[in-house]
Structure 1
Amino acid sequence: MVTAVARAGAETMMRPFEPGDRAAVLELVAADLLPGLPGLTVAELDRAVEGTCPSGPGAQAGLEGLCTEVYAGADGQILGAASWAVRPSDGAGTLLWLHCLEDEQYLARALLERAMARLGRRTVHVLAEPTVLAPAGLPVRMRPGTRRALEECGFSGTDRWRYLHRRLDDRGGRLYAVADVVECSGLPGWRLQLRERDGARIGEALVGLPVEGTTALQWVSLAPARRSMGNILLEQCLAHLADRGVREVTAVLPAPEDGQPDLDAALALHTAAGFTEIDQLHVYTRRP
């Protein structure tokens, strides 16, 4: 156990995660949950602590020294939790997930400093990969305390995505006979294929299987000459999901930089279909 000193001289403790911490840690994770993501279960938290991949039963590839610790007050209250490991492929550290009372910025900083001390002098990436708990990246608007703590600890944003959300309550449950719907192999979900009458491919989209009435639009792809039909394909996706009782759908798009007009076009396509940008997801990196 490592004892630290929090604000106002209150004694706190950083220690390994224990099964009895589950309920308190789940509360912290739930407070950071983005709109459109399903609630988390104890089993899913256990998978995250074990480093399980979000898309399958196996552990995150190439991780060593996986460690999950909680930050507890003198009264035993769990104030925060984080999980980190080392990637043998490049020797970099990776902070897989971190959750704490967001209004108390010192908590995020204490967890970050603990992770950096345990990982040693190496490059460290924060929230670079999706986990069972959340997609990759920190929601910087929803979690300003953690964002400021990262910046104070010398981390800088390296990759950014837009997190979009769309409710389907306003859609009728009807499908237009324009797209074929097939089950996906590998990643569970549906593939919607839009074709001409002669069978020529126009485009396709991939959506995940719904959980608690929510799902994610993984990607939309169109043949170069048929970009103008993107709105039809996206409407097909939403109609298909609404027909199967899905109430909410999310999408993650790269945030554009200069000279990337295609990314602005992708946002315009989703916005026209009723998606709203909820937050931006940033991955952070600190080099020694």
Structure 2
Amino acid sequence: MSTAVLRPFRGEDRTAVLELVSADLLPGLPGLTFAELDQAVQGTGPSGPAVRAGLEGVCTEVLACPDGRVVGAVSWAVRSSDGTVMLLWLHCLEDEQILARALIGRAVARLGRRAVHAFAEPTALAPAGLAVNNRAGTRRALEDCGFSGTDRWRYLHRRLDDRGGHLPALADVVECPGLPGWRLDLREWDGARIGEALVRAPVEGVTALEWARLTPGRRSMGNSLLEQCLAHLADRKVREVSTVLPAPSDDQPSLDAALALHTAAGFTEIDQLYTFIRRP
């Protein structure tokens, strides 16, 4: 690794970097395209350019061996309001800890003494947060470089091709082109509204449940709400769905109830997503 060079991303790196990113995908995330990689490199995505989130100077670099092999990639930007650095995404080969440490160490050295937040922003490649079990080497590399974990979420996954003879969906569907996706107004058989949910438009038969909330006074209908969401997706040939829930904390232990609700609906916790900070 001592001879590897951190250099700017080039167009000819696209295939190698896309392979690195794809190797880290969690179940329930669709396969990535070159267009999505280009958006991540440029700091843009479905929600528009990174500058709209107060970020500027998006920079993407790769770690390349003398023979030209690309073994890692890292991207960061600066938050214009306070000069904080946002390490947006990082991927490397299977010997992850050594390579990740090289990417993080060299990037941090370049950025000088200022706060760095890692994996705190969603990108065109993945939701916010590092999957700390699937990418334990990167987590250790961050900690070795002075980062500590802050917020965390649970990443849940559910296959829908095993649903069998469940009831059909009862939902009014509204397109949400800004997401893009659907807002579902969910109802009981008598037409009474029980809640609403937002799901992403499926890609390759997989999608994400962004959120689901019950109508006031319908708190006992949580199971029905999730069942209606899943029925709607299954009716539209969706095979897999993922969702992200906040992990419980000392001041919000009730978040375990949300996990229990999703588990009862057939979701499985796949990993936990952490954000990290390195203080100057």
TM-score normalised over the length of structure 1 = 0.91
8 A Cα contact 1:85 1:119, kept in partner:
no
State the match for 2:27 in structure 1.
Answer: 35
Matched, 1:152 2:140: no
* Whole-Å separation in 2 of the counterparts to 1:116 and 1:129: 18
* Whole-Å separation in 2 of the counterparts to 1:139 and 1:208: 21
After TM superposition, the structure 1 = structure 2 runs for residues 223-262 of structure 1, keeping only pairs within 5 Å, are: 223-262=215-254
Paired residue for 1:183, among 166, 169, 175? 175
After TM superposition, the structure 1 = structure 2 runs for residues 43-58 of structure 1, keeping only pairs within 5 Å, are: 43-53=35-45, 55-58=46-49
After TM superposition, the structure 1 = structure 2 runs for residues 57-72 of structure 1, keeping only pairs within 5 Å, are: 57-61=48-52, 62-72=54-64
SS in 2 for 1:269: helix
Amino acid at match of 1:169: D
Paired residue for 1:165, among 130, 147, 157? 157
Distance 1:200 1:106, change over 3 A: same
After TM superposition, the structure 1 = structure 2 runs for residues 1-288 of structure 1, keeping only pairs within 5 Å, are: 6=1, 10-53=2-45, 55-61=46-52, 62-172=54-164, 176=168, 178-184=170-176, 186-195=178-187, 201-288=193-280
Distance 1:287 1:218, change over 3 A: same
Amino acid at match of 2:25: L
8 A Cα contact 2:171 2:186, kept in partner:
yes
SS in 1 for 2:254: helix
8 A Cα contact 1:84 1:94, kept in partner:
yes
Distance 1:122 1:52, change over 3 A: same
CA drift of 1:205 comes to 1.0
* Whole-Å separation in 1 of the counterparts to 2:169 and 2:14: 47
Distance 1:197 1:31, change over 3 A: closer
SS in 2 for 1:210: coil
TM-score normalised over the length of structure 2 = 0.94
8 A Cα contact 1:208 1:217, kept in partner:
yes
* Whole-Å separation in 1 of the counterparts to 2:115 and 2:163: 47
* Whole-Å separation in 2 of the counterparts to 1:64 and 1:185: 26
4+ residue runs of structure 1 moved beyond 4 angstroms? 172-175, 195-201
Amino acid at match of 1:282: Y
CA drift of 1:63 comes to 1.8
RMSD between superposed Cα atoms in Å = 1.9
User: Structure 1: which 5+ residue stretches go unaligned?
Assistant: 1-5
* Whole-Å separation in 2 of the counterparts to 1:261 and 1:177: 32
* Whole-Å separation in 2 of the counterparts to 1:157 and 1:249: 27
